[in-house]
Amino acid sequence: MSDFTARTVVVMGQGYVGVPLAVRAAEAGHHVVGFEPDPRRLGMLAEGRSYVEDIPAARLRSALASGHYRPTCEADDLACYDVAVIAVPTPLRDRVPDLSAVEDAAATLSPYLRPGATVVLESTTYPGTTDEIVGPVLEGGSGLCPGADFHLGYSSERIDPGNGRWTLDNTPKLVSGVDETSLKAIAEFYATFVDQVVPVSRPCVAELAKLIENTFRHVNIALVNELAMFASELDIDIGEAIDAAATKPFGFMPFYPGPGLGGHCIPIDPFYLSWKTKQSGIEARFIELAGYINGNMPHFVVDKVQHALNNHAKPVKGSRVHIIGVAYKRNIDDMRESPALDVILLLKKLGAEVSYSDPFVPRLKLDGIDLASQEAMAAAKQADCVVIITDHSGFDYEELLESANLIVDTRNAMRGFQSEKIVRL
């Protein structure tokens, strides 16, 4: 940690990145304004009710009570900031990056920008965004020049929701600046509450590094998903084969197949990179192929269900199929891009009667479907087939094996159990 100097900090966007950042900066002693235009979210924050799993309500209430954290939707509350961090969504629209939220955030900050202040972009995006979009918007609204009059740079977020080991505090933080003074200012700010700051030469390097991190996972997951399809045809347990390969102490890192990709990062971020390469006349075929494979995994899962039921002389139509877990990853409530949604829709389209259990998602509304989470074991007993989509640690898998008639396991949650009831991915 560096020598501490309290600053007035604005965090634009109070989502799964912005809330942990705002609370941690407040805990470090900074005076933090969390800007959030969504009235529902703003109301929850003001009442000390956290909707971000990595920030318990007690921790949020403590930050509020300290007077160091104040959520707002009023632009005038942003006046006189020393540091502003932009942590807003960057979705894809028809495979094209939508940076409107980033542009709006920069435009909102620009009238309050003062000489010597610092602005950092944390939203995931393509290389060049900080220099080509954020800088010009800030300059146009303030009349101040990036580098010469204020500090500007990029620092990629590395939040892994639900990860208790690697948090904002102890995950190395990449930082960059449009010039040396910007880099120094940004590094010093993050060093007040992050254990390790890693500087890189330019914002475009940090922007690309973030996309490399997620593309690495994207393509490796696609590889094992394709291998899972191949192994299924050969009647080989892909999980056992990967575990065997993982005994090699060098040159290998294990990835495991699943029902598809979920969350904001892995299913989306690689396509920022492929979009950018297309602008340069280069086809990112590896990324596109990985996207195709991962995107088809829900269909592969439904085929598994269909074949499993068929082997028990039951059609999908009219069968009761119970989904175990609908969040995109274990032990969180985040539904963004969850493959469970596609699996449910595909099963419903085939005429199945679908139900689900998820302790983190009490109700699910999707394209005219309105379902409430059921008690897992009771529902499993009534189902013709149980499909494990999200392997939350709270589920008792031994009891599930006793309760269910048939299990399609897409997460290797039944590892260690041997039963004719189990159909593995």
> Is the same domain home to 285 and 317?
no
For residue 406, CA distances in Å to 236, 252, 274, 302, 309 come to 19, 34, 40, 14, 8
Q: Is residue 36 part of a domain?
A: yes
Single residue among 150, 172, 200 that ends a domain in this structure = 200
Phi-psi region of 383 (alpha: psi -120 to 50; beta: other; left: phi over 0): beta
Q: How far is CA 333 from CA 88, 327, 340, in A?
A: 19, 6, 13
- The pLDDT assigned to 4 comes to 78
Examine residue 2 and state whether it is found in any structural domain, yes or no: no
State the catalytic residue, choosing from 73, 145, 265, 385.
Answer: 265
Percentages helix, strand, coil for the chain, rounded to the nearest 5? 40, 15, 45
Paired sense of beta strands 96-97 and 385-388, if any: unpaired
Regarding whether 215 and 189 lie in a shared domain, the answer is: no
Taking the C-alpha atoms of residue 159 and residue 21, their distance in angstroms, rounded to an integer, is 10
The answer to the question of residue 55 being in a domain is yes
d(C-alpha 247, C-alpha 218), whole Å: 23
Predicted local confidence at residue 279, as pLDDT? 81
- Is 317 within a domain? yes
Is 385 considered catalytic here? no
Both 404 and 303 in one domain: the answer is yes
Q: What is the pTM of this model?
A: 0.89
> What's the CATH code of the domain at 183?
3.40.50.720
Instruction: State which residues form the domain around 53.
Output: 8-200
Kindly state whether residue 420 falls inside one of the protein's structural domains: yes
Identify the pLDDT of residue 264: 65
Consecutive H or E run containing 273: helix 269-279
Please say whether the dihedral angle defined by the alpha carbons of residues 68, 71, 77 and 78, taken in this order, is positive or negative.
positive
Question: CA-CA distance, 13 to 123, in Å (whole number)?
Answer: 10
Q: How far is CA 65 from the centre of its chain?
A: 29
- Pair 66, 213 in one domain: no
What is the C-alpha to C-alpha distance for residues 203 and 222, in angstroms, rounded to an integer? 29
192 SS3 class? coil
Of 239, 273, 295, the residue at which a domain comes to its end is 295
Are both 423 and 303 inside the same structural domain?
A: yes
Tokens (6 digits) for 122: 């944390």
R_g over Cα of the chain: 23
Domains in the chain, number? 3
Which pLDDT value is given to residue 30?
A: 97
The per-residue pLDDT for 156 is: 95
Q: Is residue 3 part of a domain?
A: no
Q: What is the pLDDT of residue 89?
A: 92
Distance CA 381, CA 194 (A): 48
Residue of 364, 355, 362 lying closest to 386 (CA atoms): 355
**CA 396/CA 382 separation, integer angstroms:** 17
Are 186 and 315 part of one and the same domain? no
| Token couple for 16 | 């799964």
Do 64 and 115 have their domain in common? yes
Are both 237 and 328 inside the same structural domain? no
In angstroms, the CA 79 to CA 292 distance is 46
Judge if 195 and 207 occupy the same domain. no
| 147 domain-assigned | yes
Which residue's structure tokens are 């139900």?
355
Whether residue 324 is found in the same domain as residue 243:
no
Q: How many CB atoms lie within 10 A of CB 288?
A: 14
What is the strand order of the sheet 422-424 is part of? 353-357, 320-324, 385-388, 407-409, 422-424
Residues 238 and 356 in one domain: no
Q: Are residues 418 and 342 in the same domain?
A: yes
Residue 161 pLDDT: 83
Give 10-residue mean pLDDT values along the chain (425 residues): 80 96 97 96 96 93 97 96 96 86 98 97 95 98 98 95 90 98 97 97 96 92 94 92 96 94 72 81 86 92 96 96 95 89 96 96 91 96 97 96 97 92 92
Is residue 209 in some structural domain?
Answer: yes
Which of 295, 322, 345 is the last residue in one of the domains? Answer: 295
- The residue type found at 293 is I
Q: Which of 392, 401, 396, 424 is nearest to 53 (CA)?
A: 392
Identify the pLDDT of residue 284: 82
pLDDT at position 25, please? 97
